[in-house]
Amino acid sequence: MEREPEIAQLENLKMMKVKDCGKLRNIFSKTLAQKLLTLEHLAILKCGSLEEIVSNDNAEVGGEAVQLDLSTVPPLFFFQNLQKLVISECNKMESVLPLTIVQGLNLLEELTVDSCNQVERIIAASGEVREAECKNMLPKFKILSLNDPPKLETVCNGDIVFRWPALKELHVWDCLNLKKLPLDSRSAQNMKKLRAQLAWFEDLQWKEEYAYAKSRLKRLLTKEE
């Protein structure tokens, strides 16, 4: 985005839809993202050049521009009131959000990723991630929908497990390369529904100690062909 709207005009924004913006590589700078304290619903649809939601802004160090990697810096508190995020047909994105941003999404309830052909992971983490840092992430998370991202391999790269105590529904459709879920026997204790293809579920890889998690989720499975 070459020119951002006046920040003061957006600070009270609650809902935002970005659609058919074919040249956008990112939606927000870090400065603007930090100001969107009231944003509750964000939908990004058919933005074919989009690579990231929040830009990795260049910083000046010794007079030279340095590219910042948002997946390696300390937690960033953007979109602190965000409750629903929808990403659809954004075919240049390889991941949805860096871990450092997800750590601050304490009110997020619903995430949908639909027909994003290049997405390989939902949450991008760089370097070594301590499991203790991730277990309590997304405490209000209720619904995760993954619909036909053909290259999706993982929810979060690394051997990460989430608790997601509020998770009610998990929808997974045509995610044939997704072989693991970031759940163990103590995760998603309040889950009510798993919508997925039976063949995909049977091919999931689980650690031996997570056998109970697999059997519990299978009882919730709504089988699809």
CATH code, domain carrying 78? 3.80.10
User: Considering the domain boundaries, does residue 153 fall inside one?
Assistant: yes
Band the pLDDT of 68: cuts 50, 70, 90: very low
**Cβ(81)–Cβ(108) below 8 Å:** no
User: Considering the domain boundaries, does residue 21 fall inside one?
Assistant: yes
User: Considering the domain boundaries, does residue 33 fall inside one?
Assistant: yes
Q: What is the pTM of this model?
A: 0.87
Q: Structural domain of residue 191, as residue ranges?
A: 7-57+65-224
User: Considering the domain boundaries, does residue 196 fall inside one?
Assistant: yes
Using the predicted structure, report yes or no on whether residue 207 has a pLDDT greater than 90.
Answer: no
Structure confidence at residue 224 (pLDDT): 66
At residue 63, φ and ψ (nearest 5 deg) are: 85, 0
User: Considering the domain boundaries, does residue 2 fall inside one?
Assistant: no
DSSP 208: G
User: Considering the domain boundaries, does residue 194 fall inside one?
Assistant: yes
Question: Can you list the positions of beta strands (E) in 93-224?
Answer: 95-98, 110-114, 121-124, 143-147, 154-156, 169-173, 193-197, 221-224
pLDDT digits (tens, 9 = 90+) for 131-171: 666 778 999 999 999 999 999 999 998 888 999 999 999 99
